[in-house]
Structure 1
Amino acid sequence: MSFSLSKIVVSPEGEQLYTFEYAALITETSITVVEVYVKLGIIDAIGDLLHSREIARIAQIQRLRQDLGLNLVGAAMVLDMATEIAQLRAQLKVHQSYSSNTL
């Protein structure tokens, strides 16, 4: 299945989706790399389409691999941990806000 780079596809949530070809172009990788990331579960695809956040994740992984010399699994783990830390910080902020309002 082939898509034009200019084709606009929107998810049921109203978010724009992008082709593997577009993701490869933007992240300066190849379609094969994008497909491997999907097969390994490093990024999530909707059929042959990706959310912009998944394209950003590809770019971040590429930077971690090039700049820090991390392997693919290590780069994915760093991003997963960073996401988890951000979520925990947000939860802590909500908890602190709730605690200070009940005093």
Structure 2
Amino acid sequence: MDQDKRLTYYRIETASQVVGMPPATIRYYARVGLVRTRREGREELLDEQEIARLRRIRRLREDLGINTAGVEVVMRLLDELESLRARLAETR
């Protein structure tokens, strides 16, 4: 929990400006589970890791032309890869 307090959190409107993506799109990605938000009162907040995920999603959509369903598959595969790498590192 102490680690959470040291992270920088962004309101969705601020994250929108940072990543160049409409707030409604960010909310949609949160709703379908592509990014995780944290609630503080009525505010939905994103940490720096989620900002990086949004940037990756934007690159997949805009630079590579991948549709939303494809982005979901790619992001889930990347999450699984990261998880497997972490497990492998634990065994070393």
**The TM-score by the shorter chain falls in which range?**
0.7 to 0.9
Paired residue for 1:23? 15
TM-score normalised by length of structure 2? 0.78
**What is the aligned counterpart of 1:50 among 46, 53, 57?**
46
Q: Is the 1:17–1:50 contact (alpha carbons within 8 Å) kept by the matching residues of 2? A: yes
Paired residue for 1:13? 4
**What is the aligned counterpart of 1:70 among 59, 66, 70?**
66
RMSD after superposition:
1.9
Alpha-carbon distance in structure 1 between the residues aligned to 2:79 and 2:87: 12
Higher relative contact order (CA 8 A, sep 6+): 2
Q: Is the 1:65–1:75 contact (alpha carbons within 8 Å) kept by the matching residues of 2? A: yes
Higher helix fraction (1 or 2)? 2
Q: Which runs of 4+ in 1 moved over 6 A?
A: none
Alpha-carbon distance in structure 1 between the residues aligned to 2:89 and 2:31: 36
Alpha-carbon distance in structure 2 between the residues aligned to 1:32 and 1:25: 12
If you compute each CA radius of gyration, which structure gives the higher value, 1 or 2?
1
Q: Is the 2:34–2:75 contact (alpha carbons within 8 Å) kept by the matching residues of 1? A: no
Percent identity, aligned pairs only, is: 30
TM-score normalised by length of structure 1? 0.71
Number of matched pairs = 86
Q: Structure 2 stretches of 5 or more lacking a match?
A: none
